[in-house]
Amino acid sequence: MYINEKSWEVHQAIDTEIECALLQFIKLYSVLGEKYGAVALLVPDNMNLNLYSKSFALGKWLARLQQSDREAYRVFMGFWQRKVVYQVDDEYEFTSDSHTFTGAMEAAINDSFIISLCIDEMWKRERLEGNLYCLLEDSNRKVTVDNLYMAEQLLCDPYISFFKSKEEKIYSYDDLWEKREKLFPHLEFCPSVEKNLKELQISYINQVMIKLTELNRYSQKYSGEKFRPELLTKTTLESERTLKEYAKEHTFYDIDKKSYLAKWHMRFTGIPGRIFFVPNYSKETILICYIGKKLPNVQYPT
């Protein structure tokens, strides 16, 4: 769930409109918590949540809210403290109505949605249509991103289905590693992946689980066949130049200490993250080589 950073920009809104939008956001976040437990919204690292306005000061408003409605204040501060700040992906760009959106871009490439603060009437729409540009592929395609802006939407799809599909009992990377054979019987893991997971923030665990589950299902269905990356989401082949110049960084060892050059990766957001793997490692499995920040390549050598 990604904050629509554009919806937090204050232009000609008056103070009462800003206050109403904040209270509606608090209600929405409260219902999210009641239905799905403590939730963390993803916020881009270049976004300021202070709602710059000549007349409206968020800090002063929160101080008043603490006195008048302690529960609403608690809910907002819960959002503030749980929010996950992520690094903006520099390989994609989402544009709509001549504006560039960070949250919508991440939602589009990670099969998620945006949450808007309705200071402006334009954010009271169920979907945001735009173009998603991929730098590496030099491709542009039309996409639609679901926009959550009021609590009542949570009673309907796509949100009911979204949260149901994300239900997970794994709460830590240690738990994931210990249960990997049961959870992902069609995946093998290089021993170094255990160390990778220990270096990851816990906020990425759901995305990692989703990607590994997708790879496991693919391996179960298509193991032994020619690899078909188009059947997987956000899966990219490294360039020959990268694999030549950064072969060491892309070489990993399985449990038998046999080396493999990991040419393929899936992406997850926040770092931005990568899962490098070797398809058709055996007749029935994919080899997971690396989970973490993107590895050096010719475009981003560090």
Closest CA to 277 of 199, 203, 211: 211
Question: Does residue 114 lie within any of the structural domains?
Answer: yes
Short-list 223, 212, 236, CA closest to 294:
236
CA dist., res. 156 & res. 202, Å (int): 29
Q: Which of 89, 88, 107, 95 is nearest to 46 (CA)?
A: 88
Of 201, 209, 217, nearest to 168 by C-alpha is: 209
Identify whether 40 is part of a domain.
yes
Query: Is residue 37 located within the same domain as residue 149?
Result: yes
Domain stops at, among 141, 164, 187: 164
- Indicate whether 6 and 153 sit together in one domain: yes
- 243 assigned to some structural domain: yes
**Residue 69 three-state SS:** coil
User: 73-114 pLDDT, tens per residue?
Assistant: 999 998 888 888 877 777 789 999 889 999 999 888 877 899
Q: How does strand 114-115 pair with strand 127-134?
A: unpaired
Pair of tokens at residue 266: 């899936």
Identify whether residues 159 and 177 lie together within a single domain.
Answer: no
Domain match, 116 and 66 both: yes
Domain of 276 in residue numbering reads as 173-293
Q: Which residues contact 18 (CB under 8 A, 6 or more apart)?
A: 10, 51, 53, 56, 119
pLDDT score, position 150: 94
Residue 71 and residue 11 share a domain: yes
Whether residue 11 is found in the same domain as residue 136 = yes
Strands (E) across 233-279 are located at: 235-237, 251-253, 259-261, 264-268, 273-278
pLDDT of residue 165: 66
Token pair of 162, please? 């979204």
Domain contains 102: yes
Residue 188 sits in the same domain as residue 90:
no
The Cα–Cα gap between 126 and 150 comes to 10
> Which DSSP symbol is given to 87?
B
Total domains present in the chain: 2
33 and 118 inside one domain: yes
**Domain end: 164, 182, 205, which one?**
164
Q: Under a CB-based contact definition with an 8 Å cutoff, are residues 18 and 56 in contact?
A: yes
- The reply to whether 302 falls in a domain is no
What pLDDT is stored for residue 24 in this prediction? 95
Instruction: Based on the fold, state whether residues 92 and 134 are members of the same structural domain.
Output: yes
**Which residues of the chain are under the pLDDT cut of 50?**
none
- Chosen domain end from 133, 164, 195: 164
pTM of the model: 0.67
185 plus 236 within the same structural domain:
yes
**271-274, Cβ contacts within 8 angstroms, sequence gap of 24 or more:** 271/86, 271/87, 271/204, 272/86, 272/87, 272/89, 272/91, 273/200, 273/204, 273/207, 273/208
Q: Tell me what pLDDT residue 160 has.
A: 82
Q: Is 299 contained in some domain?
A: no
d(CA 130, CA 149): 18
Report how far residue 233's alpha carbon sits from residue 251's, in angstroms, rounded to the nearest whole number. Answer: 23
CA distances from 85 to 32, 108, 153, 195, 204 (A): 19, 18, 25, 23, 11
Looking at the structure, tell me whether residues 6 and 100 fall in a common domain.
yes
pLDDT of residue 166: 62
| Claim to verify: residue 51 and residue 140 sit in the same structural domain | yes
